[in-house]
Amino acid sequence: MANVEVKLRKDERLDHRDIVVAPTVLLRNPTRYSRYGKRALDVVIAATSLLLLSPVFFTLAVLVRLNLGPGGVIYRQHRVGRDGVPFQIYKFRSMLPDRRCRRQPYVGRERRQVHKSDHDPRHTRFGRFIRARSLDELPQLVNVLKGDMSLVGPRPELVRVASEEGFLKHPRHRERPGITGSFQVSPLRARNRIAAGLHLDIAYVADVRFGKDLAILARTAGVLVRRSS
């Protein structure tokens, strides 16, 4: 995916179908930073963070088990990785098991119709707390260390969703998906539809620079501080 042509607009309402169907702008060749420096930065920060945050990991693991009951502490899900290769993303479990796996009867709207909403019967107060502060995403540091992800990059999407939306094979996958990125710190994140921010992903992978990554990491820190305050 070294030289991929895509249409790039500044309008934040750009539809992802325009990007796929009407290619006009050539993505730049990978920079020295994107080839070597970015991965080195990922490894150093991820390894250091895992070491320093190990007490937090242990505490969260205990709280997940106490609040959400039996089941794995770590939730695994298939996402689209670099060059479209699927990988398993890691998160702290933040929801109860599906009602079909529980003994208690459930009366309410179909869970698939209220996914990620406050009406989803699998939500708990604890789960909402760690999701709101992105604490459930801390295990993704292991994904970064393994090379599945980067600290900064396009948001990793579900394989099923990417296939249904038509961007399973897309230039945004030229770089490793990131724990944070241009889309994740933009107002578009509130829409929770990755197609709304594909142009941001394209702008990122077209020009991967050290300064840009630092700026996104700084904005992410600011967002997390505001969520916790």
Q: How far apart are CA 3 and CA 42, in angstroms?
A: 24
Task: Report the alpha-carbon distance of residue 181 to residue 135 in Å, rounded.
Answer: 17
Helix H or strand E encompassing 180:
strand 178-180
Q: Give start and end residues of each alpha helix (H) in the chain.
A: 16-21, 32, 38-52, 54-68, 125-132, 140-146, 159-165, 198-205, 210-228
21 has pLDDT over 50: no
How far is Cα 50 from Cα 1, in angstroms, rounded to an integer?
A: 32
pLDDT above 80: residue 205: yes
Q: Find the domain containing 116 and state its range.
A: 5-228
Reported confidence tier of residue 70, pLDDT bands at 50, 70, 90: confident
* pLDDT confidence band for 28 (50 / 70 / 90): low
Picking from 34, 28, 42, 13, the residue whose alpha carbon sits closest to that of residue 171 is: 28
DSSP state of 15: -
Among candidate residues 214, 213, 218, 188, the one with its CA nearest the CA of residue 200 = 188
Backbone angles phi, psi at 79, to 5 degrees: -125, 165
Between 69 and 208, whose confidence is greater? 208
In this prediction, residue 119 carries a pLDDT of 59
Q: What mean pLDDT is predicted for residues 209-222?
A: 94
181 vs 200: CA distance, rounded Å = 9
Name the pLDDT band for 188 (thresholds 50, 70, 90): confident
Cβ-proximal residues to 225 (8 Å cutoff; 6+ apart), any chain:
none
Strands 150-152 and 25-26: unpaired
pLDDT tens, position by position, 124-147: 889 999 998 999 999 999 999 999
How many domains does the chain divide into?
A: 1
Is residue 88 classed as helix, strand or coil in its secondary structure? strand
Token couple for 102: 């529980």
Strand blocks (E) in 56-129: 74-80, 86-92
The structure's pTM equals 0.79
Say whether pLDDT at 32 is over 70: yes
The pLDDT value given to residue 37: 95
Is 161 exposed, middle or buried (CB count within 10 Å of its CB: 0-12, 13-18, 19+)?
A: middle
Query: How does residue 3 score in pLDDT terms, banded at 50, 70 and 90?
Result: very low
Give dist(CA 109, CA 112) in Å, integer: 9
